[in-house]
Chains A and B, each alone.
Chain A
Amino acid sequence: MTNVRVTIDGQEVLVPAGSTVLEAARLAGIKISTLCDHPAIEPIGACRVCLVEIEKQRVLQPACTFPVSEGMVVHTNSERVQESRRFVLQLLFSERNHFCMFCQMSGSCELQSLAYENGLDHWEFDRAFTKFSVDASRKYFAMDHNRCILCRRCIRACDELVGNGTLGLKNRGANTIIIADLDVPFGESSCVSCGTCLQICPTGALMDRASAYMGAKNEITRVKSRCMACSVGCGVELVVRDNRVIRVEGDWEAAPNKGLLCEIGRFHPLHEERHRLRKPLVRREGILVEATWEEALRAAAQGLKAAGQEVCTVASGFVTNEEAAALQALPGAKALMGSAPVAGDGSCLGVLDEADVYIMVNTDLAKDHQVAGFAIKRSVRHRGARLVVLSDQPTKMDDWAIARWTLAEADRAVRLAAEAQMPAIIYTPEGAALAETLAAQLPRAKRVALAPLGNALGLAQAGISQGFDGQKAAAYVVVAGEAPAMPAPLASALDKADFVVAQASYREPWDQVADVLLPMPTTFEKSGTMVNTEGHAYALSAAVKVTLPSVQEMAAQLGSLL
């Protein structure tokens, strides 16, 4: 790539041709104020905050969209630029309701920060604004059009990153507002509640219900960790105040999700309705009663011993590598709380942003591994890629697919993908056999095998590689973490078992079956490592300190008693 020489604020920099002025300034370490621009999405030059003076240009130009050329001389902070920036900010503030002291974003708002940076202590224009109603029809966050500056970040994120295309605009000028689909309430729209718009909104227009008014930028800390809800292993930033996670955000810098999260990773932990388990419970005369840790462990050891030597330990996807290793202290077989992972061809999830034909085999990426599904949706929307769904049931990806064929019609998918440059076959263990057959007929195909549980590959590396398909042991130790439900084979096995010990973060559903129920830290509360579906090891950092005994302590102590 050729480079061009530009001078920004007297500093000469060599930048790749085709860069924007803003990108060039960033390379030179010069900060240009921006508002509608966001690194993850395409710039559109909507807000005019980044206007800079470029010599030989008649008027000021937006740095975010203006391409550099050889010998260009840019002034980012001249008198003229400063004046224009203040003018633009005054216009933004004078339209709609930007009274910061009443806004939950006050202290974390990008518009407010810009005002402070530019010494805007008042605005000269009359406050002429239409009042808009607040749309609170969505479960996890509300939209206040009155605080919206129409930067269109949410629209672009929904379209370019998530590929869902739910958001748009209606009307014109001062009456323009953000709408969902063809102007239906957000809660009734095609929104998948991934919350990317919420995270990318620079003002208080989008308001998180769980964390609204809970802490501004200087009152919170951010801890980078990982989501263990599925094997994509998204990088998260846990927003913490007073030893409590108030919000989960996607880590823009983390692979493979690059800032995106799904409803399950972003919202479910903060809208958990199950009862948190903080004290051990022991079943006495059919009823679970509180006990000390020692009593509970003794009861567990006694019960397991009474049931004989046949003990099976079942670990969920929320178990870290370190916890899994410690489970070896327990006697008997070990199994995964689900199917055993299948190996693909080592393709990374990045393949999903390159393939031109996708065959999704017997799984629904709009339900599980949603962030991987977003990559397919955005490729269908913007790269002209084509998706074929092979499933006997309707999936939520069908709207993005050119066709859904039954598993018996797999030959049609092969014919379609035969001419593709890079077909990608996406599957979980349920579709593995068929996926292998397809791959054998498509030499160019990439096989993206998605592991069924969050840390399935890490558990497999620690020696827990058997899927649980109804083994019969007399007694079980279930290490559940936040696992939301019992898979059917496990539920029926536990029902028949003589004795069940469970270590879990929540009472439900384990209080139905466990004889001894031990508390367990959640993903937010523990450090360790996990291995995602691509085989990458990722670190988890505890964002919250708890005094609950770890899985390691449970395994060591129970192991020694047995």
Chain B
Amino acid sequence: MSGRITFVLLFALVLCALSLVNAQYHAREQFIELERSQTEARQLDIEWSQLQLDQSTLGLHSRIDAVARRDLNMVPVTHDRTQYMTAEAK
């Protein structure tokens, strides 16, 4: 009788040991995955900063001003060519 219990317990012990190995393996795998994602997040963050900077550089008022005047032949709005619509005026 006691031999049987020992056998069952031994079997359970082996199972537990194996599942521990398995769990550890998965944990490490997922950790590496997490690590990779975090690196990617940082990379994207940097890229975002870079793009923001590019946007600022391309959207410089001096550049817009120059392009509007030179390439698009635009002129600043003058007051006598503007009609203002105010809330009170019907």
A associates with B: no
